Amino acid sequence: MTDTWLIVGLGNPGSEYSGNRHNVGQMVLDELASRIGGKFKVHKSRAQVVEGRLGIGGPRVVLAKPMTYMNVSGGPVSALAKFFDVAPDHVIAVHDEIDIPFNTVKLKIGGGEGGHNGLRDISRALATKDYLRVRVGVGRPPGRMDTADFVLRDFATPEKKDLPFLLDEAADAVELLITDGLLSAQQKHHAARS
């Protein structure tokens, strides 16, 4: 296995979904791609991919945005992991998380998918839950709004003001996770909101 990291931003394809809460993972990958100076190109694995390094001579990363719908993200992730020879412990899924407040970033490895169909499909395709997750908080639906309706809506106007800072923090969390490890990244990003 190589020392390459596969960072997957979850979301749905198409411009009508691009601003949705469900696509925040792909928004974070756009931020990471701009940091490494890369442009996404279509890969045969049904994903858009950018290859590069974090910093000068830093770790090699493959940024990937599956071109499939969220609930069938596993196929492209598994194909990319095989193509780039990346073990599950070097796969990072960046995704929306309703169980933590908006403007919050949490990190973990393994565990349950919390009803997130994209994560469930990745766990199935990789045959393990032991991959890293950067969970970007989008908050819970108001009132009795259906969760699916909530995550398939764009961020609210007040949230949009803070969104660039949230994307920046999530991108920082991905970089720290790779360079310093899970515990260090958790200590920095979890403590910031306590």
Whether the CB-CB separation of 35 and 121 falls below 8 Å is answered with no
Question: At 180, is the pLDDT very low, low, confident or very high (cuts 50, 70, 90)?
Answer: very high
**pLDDT of residue 192 exceeding 70:** no
**pLDDT of residue 171 exceeding 60:** yes
**pLDDT of residue 163 exceeding 70:** yes
Q: What is the mean pLDDT of the chain?
A: 94
**pLDDT of residue 191 exceeding 80:** no
0.75 exceeded by pTM: yes
pLDDT computed for residue 1 by the predictor: 58
Inter-CA distances, 100 with 79, 92, 103, Å? 30, 18, 9
Which of these is catalytic: 22, 90, 95, 116? 22
Question: At 194, is the pLDDT very low, low, confident or very high (cuts 50, 70, 90)?
Answer: very low
Active site residue 190: no
Kindly report the number of other CB atoms within 10 A of residue 53's CB atom: 12
Question: At 56, is the pLDDT very low, low, confident or very high (cuts 50, 70, 90)?
Answer: confident
